[in-house]
Amino acid sequence: MLLNKERQFIKDYGLKLLEKELTKGTGGNLSIFNREKNLMAISPSAISYKEIDINDVVIMNLEGEKVEGKQKPSTEYQLHKIIYKNRKDINAVIHTHPTYSTTIACLNEEIPPIHYLIAYSGYKVPCAQYATFGSKKLAKNVSKALGHKYNAALMANHGLITAGINIKKALTITEMVEYCAELYYRTKNTGDPKILSNKQIKKVMNKFEDY
């Protein structure tokens, strides 16, 4: 069986998404890319994270072809593979529907640097234009929003996508972005939030490199 380690991580981190209330039911999806073998392990479609077995995890190549697995891959596999193609620094992708990030996404707004932890994403969290879930258009919109400098993006009227060098980092980014989204939502409802400058965020990024 291919990518046993990655399969287990997909199962384990899928459960973490539920435990941390970052998504619900079968919502969202996650994947890990093995660059040495040029293969992607991705969560199956329409199976609860509580029920996923490592045999359910689907193995695909970046041409979108299923290499191993009986289940259907996540409907968002296009989204995952385009990120791996365009970003050589990314080996794991997590897509979720957390409450506050999705709230901001439904406003079609980005998350500005409301807090220094936004640096986990970059200078902000951009918002990708809306397109139907599972479509190539959505994949292109998200890839454009991430570019080569952001590790997270909101998906308009949909949810959140994060990308990291490994699955642990991708989950951390998801948590930090959702925290910043909640702060932004709460401060906007309280008053006029004060936004950090790019210079201030750049200092944080530099400190993170040695953290």
211 pLDDT higher than 90: no
* pTM for the full predicted model: 0.97
- Among 63, 68, 76, 178, which one carries the catalytic annotation? 76
182 belongs to the catalytic site: no
Round the average pLDDT of the chain to a whole number and report it: 96
pLDDT of 210: 79
Say how many CA atoms lie within 13 Å of 81 toward its Cβ. 22
Closest CA to 100 of 159, 153, 152: 159
User: What integer pLDDT is reported at residue 152 of this predicted model?
Assistant: 98
- For residue 206, the model assigns a pLDDT of 94
- Tell me if the domain spanning 4-209 has CATH number 3.30.70.270: no
Q: If pLDDT is split at 50, 70 and 90, which confidence band does 26 have? A: confident
pLDDT digit string (tens) for 83-123? 999 999 999 999 999 999 999 999 999 999 999 999 999 99
Q: Are 60 and 85 in contact (CB under 8 A)?
A: no
Q: Could you count the other beta carbons within 10 Å of the beta carbon of residue 169?
A: 18
Q: Are the beta carbons of 160 and 105 closer than 8 angstroms?
A: yes
**Domain edges within the chain:** 4-209
- Cβ contact 63:143 at 8 Å: no
